[in-house]
Amino acid sequence: MRLDGVWWLEDRLRQQLRTVPFEVPPGTAQIDVRLGYDNSKGAVLDLGCAGPEGFRGWSGGARSSFRIGPHTSTPGYLPGEVLPGTWQIWLGLHRIPPEGVPYSLEVTFSAKASKVSTVLNYGEQEAMDRPPARELPTVDGRRWYAGDLHAHTEHSDGSLSVRALATLAARTGLDFLAVTDHNTISHYPFLEEGSAATGVTLLPGQEVTTELGHANVWGAPNWIDFRRPASEWMKQAEKAGALFSVNHPLAGDCAWRHQLTTQPSIAELWHWSWLDRTWGEPLAWARRHPAGVIPVGGSDFHTPGGTPPGLGEPVTWVLAEECTVPALLEGIRAGRTAVSAGRTGPLLLRCGDEVVALDADGLVLARPDETRVAVGSAGSGRRTFPASQKGMYRLETWRNEVVALCA
């Protein structure tokens, strides 16, 4: 099947996500879809697919083609039986210039499925060489674990397989990592093997991605429908016992603009895009929520050596009973989090009725009421302060640059 047409700016303004239905005949074992369009003037069309039984995949603007078969599918798409009936190609009109975008769609039906895997086989990471763990205080038998709550693989717009990303996390010294590919869960089947092979606990995640903002959902077993209102994402996550976090609420054109019926309890206040940490708007955004938010951080990692920066920049620390998915999610839910620029360097941890500053000589402790005290020189690299106030504590330089914070 071939379809040619033109999308206009007025089309995008009326409805950003478009569906193109097509009929799959009986006896089809595999479908291949290819999208072609002129992107020389900045046009961007997103791509996805649904079958008669619902969602089958999403690649956004990262790919212009995909394959769905019974055993293997293009990363971002769910393998499985290709049922006859009405299917839909999803086209997101992400960027449409005023002069319009000519496009073409080609759908090929095959009676026999290819035995060649469509996994992209990006370069795997070298053997692991895990750095030694930091010596950190324990609290009531719980330990602090280092991780990154926002990273992508080849299943959306990242460049590594799940296994390679987990290997990189181990080499970085992370204990856990949330794999949060855009609008898909096709990476889920690879998490257990990646975790077992590297010793890094991989949290099942998905970054629900729209033009009005992004959100991470960690621990949900099923796909979150990004086409629905954001409040329904929250409800679906809560019903599944999962966690919902507003992502990079102030980051460029993907800043958070959704209307929510209830206040989010978790927010990615520290995103790689907080390049100038004397800029106080992320802190001001958090203070606008009367009940407060649980702060987390995420590197939004995509590819080694690219932009954003490296995995674990920043690091989110979670105080948990053990380094398992349920225990880590419970630690975040309870607000036992801290964020630092990296795995080493200054760190601030809330430990019961105290906050503990590590490797913080010469820094300033800022309390929730914005009073400040100089940390001074601890000699041993550790100082404790009373934590009598509710809210977020942070470490800053004398120039007011945030270097660590804790819930």
| Banded model confidence at residue 126, pLDDT cuts 50, 70, 90 | low
DSSP track, 62-129: S-SEEEE-SS-B-TTB--S---SEEEEEEEEEEE--TT-EEEEEEEEEESS---S-----PPPP----
The share of the chain scoring above pLDDT 70, in percent, equals 95
Q: What is the pLDDT of residue 323?
A: 98
CB 213 within 8 A of CB 203: no
Mean pLDDT, residues 245-262 taken together: 92
pLDDT at 123 over 90: no
Q: What is the pLDDT of residue 378?
A: 63
Mean pLDDT, residues 144-154 taken together: 98
| Banded model confidence at residue 292, pLDDT cuts 50, 70, 90 | confident
Mean pLDDT, residues 150-174 taken together: 97
| Banded model confidence at residue 117, pLDDT cuts 50, 70, 90 | low
Q: What is the pLDDT of residue 94?
A: 96
pLDDT at 252 over 90: no
pLDDT at 120 over 70: no
Residue pLDDT, tens place only, 319-369: 999 999 999 999 999 999 999 999 999 999 999 999 999 999 999 999 999
| Banded model confidence at residue 381, pLDDT cuts 50, 70, 90 | confident
CB neighbours of 179 closer than 8 A, spacing ≥ 6? Answer: 151, 152, 153, 162, 165, 187, 191, 202, 203, 204, 205
CB neighbours of 213 closer than 8 A, spacing ≥ 6? Answer: 230, 246, 247, 249, 254, 255, 256, 257, 258
Q: What is the mean pLDDT of the chain?
A: 94
| Banded model confidence at residue 305, pLDDT cuts 50, 70, 90 | confident
Residue pLDDT, tens place only, 209-229: 999 999 999 999 999 999 999
- Any idea which of 127-136, 232-241, 279-288 has the lowest mean pLDDT? 127-136
